């Protein structure tokens, strides 16, 4: 390579990242993906920087998750300016690109591994009342969001109250508890429940169903 243009890696290294945002590099065929993550929003998406045969650099922004999902807009609001910054930085070196940056593409990421889900059904009518997602990896807000994003296709087709349940905390039964986030059909903040409190809560959903 004899060009003087800044490499995408140099451009990425010079990015001014918003608070709580970090990124890692993943190799791609013919390029590299910069995968951005927010401490509270989880994975935001990635910028795929690839070279074309004619020597142009192509930057595609992929926002993580389903665009109908509640947090998609927030992920896009952080990722889009970063994408523009990279595109502008690359263009400032080699002049405007003859082709405009490709449009944003929503990325439908699949769960990395199996996340156990328990279905709670009404014992009278059999309706699905609740989905309990047991997410051992959900140890901070960002990872709760990762699970909410990954499981969206699963719960969004239901009317079931959906809860993401973090790992059990506590050293003995008397102080067992878990951080739990309701994500569907309305989102609620992460709340800590004891097993008894949560069992009571789920029971209350079943009591009075279809009667
Ligand atoms: Zn019922």
Q: Each residue of 46-74: pLDDT tens digit?
A: 999 888 778 788 888 999 999 999 899 99
Query: Is position 151 within any domain?
Result: yes
Cα of 199 from ligand 1 centre, angstroms: 18
Region 129-158: mean pLDDT is 96
Cα of 106 from ligand 1 centre, angstroms: 37
- The closest alpha carbon to 159, from 126, 131, 189, belongs to 131
Cα of 156 from ligand 1 centre, angstroms: 20
Query: Is position 181 within any domain?
Result: yes
Query: Is position 2 within any domain?
Result: no
Write down which residue in 107, 131, 161 finishes a domain.
107
Range of 186's domain?
117-206
Residues 199 and 143 in one domain: yes
Q: Could you tell me the pLDDT band of residue 112, with boundaries at 50, 70 and 90?
A: low
Work out the mean pLDDT of the chain and round it to a whole number. Answer: 86
Cα of 161 from ligand 1 centre, angstroms: 14
Q: Residue 73: which residues within 8 A CB-CB, separation 6 or more?
A: none
Alpha-carbon gap, residue 87 to 94, rounded angstroms:
11
Cα of 91 from ligand 1 centre, angstroms: 60
Cα of 158 from ligand 1 centre, angstroms: 15
pLDDT at 160 over 80: yes
Write down which residue in 75, 107, 139 finishes a domain.
107
Q: Do the beta carbons of residue 167 and residue 138 sit within 8 Å? A: yes
According to the model, what pLDDT value does residue 57 have? 80
Residues 12 and 103 in one domain: yes
Residues 100 and 170 in one domain: no
pLDDT at 103 over 70: no
How many distinct structural domains can be found in the chain?
Answer: 2
pTM: 0.83
Residues 130 and 162 in one domain: yes
15-19, 89-93, 105-109, 151-155 — most confident range: 151-155
According to the model, what pLDDT value does residue 108 have? 46
Cα of 125 from ligand 1 centre, angstroms: 4
């Amino acid at each position: 390579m004899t060009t003087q243009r800044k490499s995408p890696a140099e451009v990425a290294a010079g990015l001014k990242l918003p608070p709580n945002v970090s990124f890692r590099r993943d190799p791609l065929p013919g390029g590299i993906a910069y995968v951005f993550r927010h401490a509270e929003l989880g994975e935001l998406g990635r910028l795929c920087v690839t070279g074309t045969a004619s020597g142009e650099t192509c930057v595609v922004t992929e926002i993580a998750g389903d665009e109908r999902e509640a947090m998609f807009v927030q992920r896009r609001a952080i990722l889009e300016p970063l994408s523009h910054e990279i595109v502008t930085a690359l263009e400032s070196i080699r002049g405007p690109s003859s082709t405009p940056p490709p449009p944003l593409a929503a990325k439908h990421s699949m769960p990395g591994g199996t996340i156990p889900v328990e279905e709670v059904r009404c014992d009278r009518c059999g309706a699905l009342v609740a989905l309990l997602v047991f997410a051992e990896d959900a140890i901070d807000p960002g990872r709760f969001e990762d699970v909410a994003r990954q499981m969206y296709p699963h719960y969004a087709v239901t009317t079931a109250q959906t809860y993401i349940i973090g790992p059990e905390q506590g050293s003995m039964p008397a102080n067992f508890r878990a951080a739990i986030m309701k994500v569907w059909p309305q989102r609620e903040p992460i709340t800590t429940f004891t097993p008894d409190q949560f069992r009571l809560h789920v029971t209350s959903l079943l009591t009075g169903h279809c009667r």
